[in-house]
Structure 1
Amino acid sequence: MENRNRFPHPLFYLFPLYAIGLYFLVLGVINAYVFLAPISIAALMTMILLPVVRKFENWKINRFLSTFLATCLALSLYLSMFVVISLQANSIYENWDTVSGRVQNTVQKVQESISGISGVSPDKQLEILNIPPSALSSDSTNAVNSQKSEKDSTSKKGETKESTAKQNSGVKAAITNFLDFVGYSLLTFIYIFFFLFYRTKIRLSIVRFFPENQRDKTNKILNGSLSIAKQYLVGRLILIFFLWIIYSVGMAVSGIDSPILISLIAAALSLIPYVGTVIGYVIAMMMAVVSGGETGQYIGVSITYGLAQFVETYILEPFVVGDKVDLNPLVTIIVVVLGGLVWGVVGMVISIPLFGMLKILADQVTVLKPLGYFLGQDDMGSKDDDFLGAIAKKLKRMFK
Structure 2
Amino acid sequence: MSDLPLTVRRSIEVMGLFFLGWIVVLGDGLLAPLLMAFFISIMVLPLYRFFCKIRFPEALSIGISILALILVLGLVVWFFSSQIRDLVRDFPVIQRNVTNHLNDLSEWVGSISPYSTEEQLDLIREQSNRLLSYVGGLLSSAALSLTSVLVFLGLLPIYIFLLLFYKNLLLRFVFLWFQPKNHKRVRDALREMELIIKSYLFGLLIQVSYMTVLLGGILLIIGIKHALLIGLIFAFLNLIPYVGALLGNIIGVLITLASSAELWPIFVVLGTIAAVQFLDNNILMPRIVGSKVKINALAAIVGVLVGGEIAGIPGMFLSLPIIAVLKVIFDRSERFKQWGVLFGDERPEHSPMHYPVLRQKDCTVDNYLKRENNVEPPREDNKP
- What range is the shorter-chain TM-score in? 0.7 to 0.9
Shift in Å, 1:190: 1.5
* Residue 146 of structure 1: aligned partner: none
Gaps of 5+ in 1: 1-8, 137-162, 383-392, 394-400
Equivalent of 1:132, from 125, 135, 138?
Answer: 125
Q: Would the alpha carbon gap of residues 134 and 283 (structure 1) be closer, same or farther in structure 2, given more than 3 Å must change? A: closer
Partners of 1:371 and 1:172 in 2: CA distance: 41
Does the 8 Å contact 1:257/1:291 carry over to 2? yes
The structure that has the greater radius of gyration is 1
Shift in Å, 1:62: 2.5
The two structures have a TM-score, normalised by structure 2, of 0.80
* Residue 193 of structure 2: aligned partner: 225
* Residue 105 of structure 1: aligned partner: 100
Equivalent of 1:71, from 60, 66, 70?
Answer: 66
Letter in 2 for 1:107: L
Partners of 2:100 and 2:15 in 1: CA distance: 55
Shift in Å, 1:250: 3.0
Q: Which moved more, 1:252-261 or 1:14-23?
A: 14-23
Q: Would the alpha carbon gap of residues 133 and 334 (structure 1) be closer, same or farther in structure 2, given more than 3 Å must change? A: closer
Matched, 1:355 2:323: yes
Equivalences for 1:5-84 in 2 at 5 Å? 22-84=17-79
Equivalences for 1:123-202 in 2 at 5 Å? 123-127=118-122, 130-132=123-125, 177-202=145-170
* Residue 295 of structure 1: aligned partner: 263
Q: Which moved more, 1:89-98 or 1:287-296?
A: 89-98
Q: Secondary structure at the match of 2:336?
A: helix
Q: Secondary structure at the match of 1:342?
A: helix
Give per-residue Cα distances to partners, 1:192-250, cap 9 Å, x unaligned. 12212221221111111212221111111111112111111111111111101112113
Does the 8 Å contact 1:254/1:301 carry over to 2? no
* Residue 172 of structure 2: aligned partner: 204
* Residue 111 of structure 2: aligned partner: 116
* Residue 379 of structure 2: aligned partner: none
Partners of 2:323 and 2:283 in 1: CA distance: 25
Give per-residue Cα distances to partners, 1:269-326, cap 9 Å, x unaligned. 1211111111101110111111125222112101211111121012211211122332
Q: Secondary structure at the match of 1:367?
A: coil
Give per-residue Cα distances to partners, 1:27-84, cap 9 Å, x unaligned. 3312322211111111110111111111222223232221111100001111121222
Q: Would the alpha carbon gap of residues 265 and 58 (structure 1) be closer, same or farther in structure 2, given more than 3 Å must change? A: same
Letter in 1 for 2:181: N
Partners of 1:193 and 1:344 in 2: CA distance: 24
* Residue 382 of structure 2: aligned partner: none
Does the 8 Å contact 2:257/2:263 carry over to 1? no
Q: Would the alpha carbon gap of residues 237 and 251 (structure 1) be closer, same or farther in structure 2, given more than 3 Å must change? A: same
Partners of 1:17 and 1:213 in 2: CA distance: 25
Q: Would the alpha carbon gap of residues 251 and 178 (structure 1) be closer, same or farther in structure 2, given more than 3 Å must change? A: farther
Partners of 2:22 and 2:337 in 1: CA distance: 27
Does the 8 Å contact 2:93/2:259 carry over to 1? no
Equivalences for 1:313-328 in 2 at 5 Å? 313-328=281-296
Gaps of 5+ in 2: 351-373, 375-384
Does the 8 Å contact 1:42/1:191 carry over to 2? yes
Q: Would the alpha carbon gap of residues 123 and 255 (structure 1) be closer, same or farther in structure 2, given more than 3 Å must change? A: farther
Does the 8 Å contact 1:255/1:291 carry over to 2? no
Matched, 1:334 2:327: no
Partners of 1:341 and 1:30 in 2: CA distance: 9
Q: Would the alpha carbon gap of residues 327 and 15 (structure 1) be closer, same or farther in structure 2, given more than 3 Å must change? A: closer
Shift in Å, 1:117: 2.9
| Number of equivalenced pairs | 344
Shift in Å, 1:361: 1.1
* Residue 377 of structure 1: aligned partner: 345
Partners of 1:14 and 1:377 in 2: CA distance: 25
Shift in Å, 1:87: 2.5
Does the 8 Å contact 1:106/1:292 carry over to 2? no
Partners of 2:207 and 2:214 in 1: CA distance: 11
Q: Secondary structure at the match of 1:261?
A: helix
Q: Would the alpha carbon gap of residues 381 and 84 (structure 1) be closer, same or farther in structure 2, given more than 3 Å must change? A: farther
Shift in Å, 1:174: 6.3
Partners of 1:170 and 1:371 in 2: CA distance: 38
Identity %: 27
Partners of 1:241 and 1:263 in 2: CA distance: 10
Shift in Å, 1:331: 2.0
Does the 8 Å contact 1:232/1:321 carry over to 2? yes
Partners of 1:57 and 1:11 in 2: CA distance: 49
Letter in 2 for 1:79: G
Partners of 2:174 and 2:12 in 1: CA distance: 27
Partners of 2:325 and 2:11 in 1: CA distance: 27
Letter in 2 for 1:124: E
Q: Would the alpha carbon gap of residues 220 and 18 (structure 1) be closer, same or farther in structure 2, given more than 3 Å must change? A: closer
